[in-house]
Structure 1
């Protein structure tokens, strides 16, 4: 039986990151008349892919924080400055620090949070926590006269896709290149550590070998295949080895937002929101999830990156609008990993789909392509 169409289309989008903003654009392209409300603490987009350039001075905070007032005005979006605390009425009411908000359709795009269970993790800087973390790395590097810099990441053992390792390779290679430019590389030891013997396997086997080969070429020591035990103020301890570290950069695995715990939303074993191939949340009518918040069916190398969020946003918007109008829709998204692993003045392209894999050798052109993409991507929000 065809569902009864809903006369009004009040759509609430939770989150002002890549996933939320991409969904807003997709919704507005398909429905010029929908009433869209976006909930986020600030009307700002923080372009986190650019934080890899902060330590070397190629980017500043003001380059990466984009005010969204103009974008919201153009897209006719109402912004509610608040944090989400829960849901009620099967998702039809969003509970926030600014009060309850009713909706006819809901988009959950509040990202994820990092697992901070490793003992001593407070001794490490987690780069992707934001711009402030990258600024701390910049300031620490400036103050250091020498020593050992340890760079590593880990995953969520219950959620294979909930890992963000790409930026750590970029910080590692970027710091190496920066120290060489400054004529200080011989005063530092760089160590890359990971509990897997093949770190970055989600990028593909060829990419792993290329990245490890690049580390060897640059004189980066590797500590691989040993489970993490703890971090200390001046060392990293694994089950196989402990080594000194004067600066530790560590990216743990990801899990779901804390506010998910205050709902009955279905969760994956790793703590993310369960989603089907159409980005719908099972058991919740007219509720979709996009980006890092969701656990989607597909290969275990499915990336957590802005490009993937863009692809999911299109499918989620199409299906949500169809559900609101009482139309059938089974739009899905392709699984595609694409990134340029940058090292300040050159980059390596990695592209992977379920059928193909491509890796281009390092070049200055790819570095400038990454910078050009940033400029193009942010223009739509300025």
Structure 2
């Protein structure tokens, strides 16, 4: 029996598991186990909606993965030499192949006070805590720290859902800085229409009642949301990692120090021709599929193939009734083509925010099937 253990059931981990199920159906010499700290799948792409007070579907991982063994618990340690995973410090799982998909969380340790005084969007629980806090503040200021796409989506959603609140978006660069001129201008105009104020600056300290900027200025706030930067947990001692704690992989997504360990999603430092992938659902799901394909190839005595990926789009919701989609080159630099308004809302909801039809198709494919177009880029 070849034991495959997937630690983490986010977008990348789920893509790995469902693809493995589809490609090993009918084999009785392969066992797939998924370990996760919650039975509920975290739709991270929708957490800004939950944080604003909306309700999301409750998706149970055991029901989504009926053909695998699901282990509920927190991974507390991995011994790559003994090939074991420790769960809740009470159970030990043995593996022949490990898929490391534990993902990342907001880097609240980068700035003093962020851990103690700022909310995050790392989990369903975190988003619900923020929603409860916002529900108690009729008027006041919400400071969203981090001008990236997560910060933009969160600021827009909160401003639309809570028009009585003053929402200020603080970042090193202007909102939509990675987009083309048209999409950037549309993003900024929509934020202004929703009443979101934007401030350029580095947050150097988070206080109980606001944040301090690099120049010494204090921005008062009743609620602080931290969306700047990502860090990953280093649980696998001895496995080669980069400066941010991500597992360094070879071209096939195997650990350069332990080839029986695959790393996918935010947990992996994956080098492509244009640089290291940045963590998004758009790249995370294809890494999971590729890891599953590679594992099945190894089970058949074949060598895994290199992973190739190119970005395709940058979809950003701006509340429930507006959005912008910036189409990109493979290196994520902006193309000229964009979508805005209702068309962008439809595109965002259809393509980016609902992975379940995709997972369903993966599960149905036979072992010889190929989910992604042959010769094409990995895209969603």
TM-score (norm 2): 0.81
Distance 1:359-1:137 versus aligned 2 partners, 3 A rule: farther
1:170 aligns to what?
Answer: 153
Structure 2 residue ranges without an equivalent (≥5): 364-380
Distance 1:69-1:197 versus aligned 2 partners, 3 A rule: closer
2:100 aligns to what?
Answer: 108
Q: Is the 8 A contact 1:173 1:342 kept in 2?
A: yes
Distance 1:309-1:55 versus aligned 2 partners, 3 A rule: closer
Distance 1:90-1:168 versus aligned 2 partners, 3 A rule: same
Is residue 2:204 matched to residue 1:229?
Answer: yes
Among 247, 270, 289, the residue aligned to 2:244: 270
In the TM superposition, residue 358 of structure 1 has moved relative to its aligned partner by: 5.4
1:80 aligns to what?
Answer: 71
- Once the two structures are overlaid, the 10-residue window that deviates more, 337-346 or 282-291, is 337-346
Please state whether the residue corresponding to 1:367 is helix, strand or coil: helix
2:371 aligns to what?
Answer: none
Among 330, 338, 346, the residue aligned to 1:360: 338
- Once the two structures are overlaid, the 10-residue window that deviates more, 266-275 or 295-304, is 295-304
1: CA distance between counterparts of 2:11 and 2:126? Answer: 19
In the TM superposition, residue 109 of structure 1 has moved relative to its aligned partner by: 0.6
Distance 1:282-1:179 versus aligned 2 partners, 3 A rule: same
1: CA distance between counterparts of 2:63 and 2:244? Answer: 37
Distance 1:104-1:199 versus aligned 2 partners, 3 A rule: same
Among 160, 170, 187, the residue aligned to 1:193: 170
Is residue 2:83 matched to residue 1:92?
Answer: yes
2: CA distance between counterparts of 1:205 and 1:274? Answer: 35
Please state whether the residue corresponding to 2:59 is helix, strand or coil: strand
Structure 1 residue ranges without an equivalent (≥5): 1-7, 155-164
Is residue 2:124 matched to residue 1:131?
Answer: yes
Q: Is the 8 A contact 2:80 2:238 kept in 1?
A: no
2:295 aligns to what?
Answer: 320
Distance 1:264-1:334 versus aligned 2 partners, 3 A rule: same
Q: Larger helix proportion, structure 1 or 2?
A: 1
TM-score (norm 1): 0.81
2:373 aligns to what?
Answer: none
